[in-house]
Amino acid sequence: MAAQENLQRAAVLVAPSKNPEFNVQLVPRPVPGPNEVLVRLSLTSICGSDYGLASGELGETRTILGHEGVGRVVELGSGVPAIDPSVQVGQRVGVGWARDACGACGWCTTLAQDGETRCAERVTSGRVVDGTFAEYTVVPARYLCRIPAAYDGVPDEHVAPVCCGGVTAYKAIKGCGVVPGRWIAVSGAGGGVGALAVAFARAMGYRVVGVDAGADKGRFCLEQGAEHFVDITALAAGEDPGPEVRRLTGTEGVDAVIVTSGAAAAYQAAFSMLGPFGTLMCVGLPPADRLVHFHPAMCVAFGWQVKGSAVGTRRDILEALEFVRRGLVTPRTEWGRLEDMTTLLENVVRGKILGKYVIKLDGEDSSKTTEAPAS
């Protein structure tokens, strides 16, 4: 179905709920302001946090979610040629979680900490501005994530998952500052971000132990490059996975645990996996009322650090894409359709998809998108 002029197809969130429903509607195509560009999205993938948004857990949202998009600039706002003549129609771009950075707040101006992704204005995709579950989106010219021509050989379905899941995984690993060759644990390793964290960590030279629930996820983690897998469903209820992590890795504990799970219990368990001077890297977000406990003595006596990582800068996206271009990381994907968003997101939250759903938005290859996903 070709969109009529000035209209576009979008998967629209009907109402936020624990079982969010979407339907495909023809809605007005966005019009770029003077300092913005219009992007024709060719593909989007689905991130786990789209469920957090759709369920209302992360607060108020827009009705068009999505923040792993890829497309090309098709129209320039009237002021863009004067602001930045290098922005051209036809430029390939990625569209991630962070949609703008003010450049002036305390986060943005802390360049050494890559503060742009924590901008005080927090213009985020699907929450403050419409997301990528649509044919078009507008992006401020000053915050374009340009994908250089050197990446033209990387297909959209491998670029999009890097725009949030991949860069989040890559940046979290980078932020641990661990020496390559050392052990890293990924908790929630069978999830969308977790599996990418396993693959990136392996490609970046680390040894990886995955922690998650179930044999399917275990096989998936090993395929992605983990050397070992700890299946928490194989432990006794409430049993601490730390000793098994130490036994499998032959260490006093790993140098870093990247927690991509949103379960408070996964955070609690992560402490027991840490070795000397270990870093616990927070990525997954438990519900706001679920707290994690630790005693300061852990940091004093063992030199542990607790840090958090938030997606990544546009530079990080390109660094992560370089691993994909070189064939060292290939996101595992399954095709879905915009029409099936309700089911797709349900499969994501229930852990029924290994890897990422990718959805074509330009309709050029309907053969790939005619099969409804198994639910």
CB of 97 to Zn ion, least distance (A): 5
Q: Which two tokens stand for residue 133?
A: 């579950």
CB of 165 to Zn ion, least distance (A): 6
The residue among 122 and 368 lying less far from Zn ion, judged by its C-beta, is 122
The residue among 209 and 358 lying less far from Zn ion, judged by its C-beta, is 358
The residue among 23 and 110 lying less far from Zn ion, judged by its C-beta, is 110
Q: Name the residue among 24, 9, 14, 27 with its Cα closest to residue 54.
A: 14
Q: Name the residue among 192, 238, 189 with its Cα closest to residue 217.
A: 189
The residues that touch Zn ion, with contacts defined as CB under 5 A, are 47, 49, 102, 105, 108, 119, 164
CB of 113 to Zn ion, least distance (A): 12
The residue among 43 and 164 lying less far from Zn ion, judged by its C-beta, is 164
Contacts 24+ apart (CB under 8 A), 222-228: 224/189, 224/195, 224/196, 224/198, 224/199, 224/332, 225/198, 225/199, 225/201, 226/186, 226/189, 226/198, 226/202
Question: In 51-80, which positions are buried (b, 16+ CB within 10 angstroms) versus exposed (e)?
Answer: bbbbbebbeebbbbbbbbbbbbbeebbeeb
CB of 346 to Zn ion, least distance (A): 17
Distances (CA, A) of 373 to 214, 358, 361: 21, 12, 17
**Distance from C-alpha of 283 to C-alpha of 338, rounded to nearest angstrom:** 27
Task: Enumerate the β-bridge partners of residue 129.
Answer: 125
Contacts 24+ apart (CB under 8 A), 20-25: 20/51, 20/54, 20/55, 20/342, 20/345, 21/342, 22/54, 22/133, 22/341, 22/342, 22/345, 23/342, 24/338, 24/339, 24/341
The residue among 231 and 346 lying less far from Zn ion, judged by its C-beta, is 346
The residue among 232 and 354 lying less far from Zn ion, judged by its C-beta, is 354
CB of 259 to Zn ion, least distance (A): 15
CB of 119 to Zn ion, least distance (A): 3
Residue 130 carries which DSSP code?
A: -
CB of 42 to Zn ion, least distance (A): 19
CB of 109 to Zn ion, least distance (A): 8
The residue among 164 and 324 lying less far from Zn ion, judged by its C-beta, is 164
CB of 143 to Zn ion, least distance (A): 10
CB of 352 to Zn ion, least distance (A): 18
The residue among 112 and 297 lying less far from Zn ion, judged by its C-beta, is 112
Helix (H) / strand (E) containing 295: none
**Distance from C-alpha of 98 to C-alpha of 109, rounded to nearest angstrom:** 16
The residue among 26 and 102 lying less far from Zn ion, judged by its C-beta, is 102
The residue among 102 and 292 lying less far from Zn ion, judged by its C-beta, is 102
Within 10 Å of residue 237's Cβ, how many Cβ atoms?
6
Q: Are strands 92-95 and 145-146 parallel, antiparallel or unpaired?
A: antiparallel
Radius of gyration of the chain (CA): 20
Task: Enumerate the β-bridge partners of residue 228.
Answer: 209
